Structure 1
Amino acid sequence: MTLKGYLVTGLLLWLPLAVTLWVLNLIVGTLDQTLTLLPDAWRPDHLLGVNIPGFGVIFAVLVLLGTGMLTANVLGQRLLMFWHGVISRTPVVKSIYNSVKQVSDTLLSDSGQAFRRALLVRFPHQDAWTVAFQTGRPSDNLAPLLGADEYISVYVPTTPNPTSGYFIMVAKKDTRELEMSVDEALKYVISMGVVAPQSARKH
Structure 2
Amino acid sequence: MTAIRKWLFAGLLVLVPLAITVWVLNWVVVTLDQTLQILPGNWHPDKLLGFHIPGFGVLLALFIVLTIGAIASNFLGKKLVSVWDLMLNRIPIVRSIYSSVKQVSDTLFSENGNAFRKALLVQWPREGVWTIGFLTGAPGGDVINHLVGDYISVYVPTTPNPTGGYFVMLKRSDCVELKMSVDEALTYVISMGVVVPGSGAFYKPK
TM-score, structure 1 length as denominator?
0.90
Runs of 4+ with >6 A deviation? none
Partner AA of 1:68 in structure 2? G
User: After superposition, where does 1:114-125 map in structure 2 within 5 Å?
Assistant: 114-125=115-126
Partner AA of 2:151 in structure 1? Y
Label 1:115 to 1:56 Cα distance change in 2 as closer, same or farther (>3 A). same
Unmatched tracts of structure 2, length 5 or more: 202-206
The corresponding residue for 2:163 is: 163
Label 1:44 to 1:9 Cα distance change in 2 as closer, same or farther (>3 A). same
Partner AA of 2:65 in structure 1? L
Residue by residue, what CA displacement relative to the aligned partner does 1:54-96 show, whole Å, maximum 9, x if unpaired?
A: 1111111000111111123333223222222221222221211
Percent identity of equivalent pairs: 55
Take 2:102 and 2:200, find their aligned partners in 1: how far apart are those partners? Answer: 36
The corresponding residue for 2:20 is: 19
Unmatched tracts of structure 1, length 5 or more: none
Take 1:5 and 1:195, find their aligned partners in 2: how far apart are those partners? Answer: 19
Take 2:68 and 2:200, find their aligned partners in 1: how far apart are those partners? Answer: 41
The corresponding residue for 1:77 is: 78
**Length, aligned pairs only:** 200
The corresponding residue for 2:186 is: 186
Question: SS at 1:130's partner residue?
Answer: strand
User: After superposition, where does 1:6-155 map in structure 2 within 5 Å?
Assistant: 6-146=7-147, 148-155=148-155
Residue by residue, what CA displacement relative to the aligned partner does 1:103-161 show, whole Å, maximum 9, x if unpaired?
A: 00101101111111110111122121000001111123112323x23221100111121
TM-score, structure 2 length as denominator?
0.88
Question: SS at 2:153's partner residue?
Answer: strand
Take 1:128 and 1:27, find their aligned partners in 2: how far apart are those partners? Answer: 38
Is the 8 Å Cα contact of residues 180 and 199 (structure 1) preserved in structure 2?
no
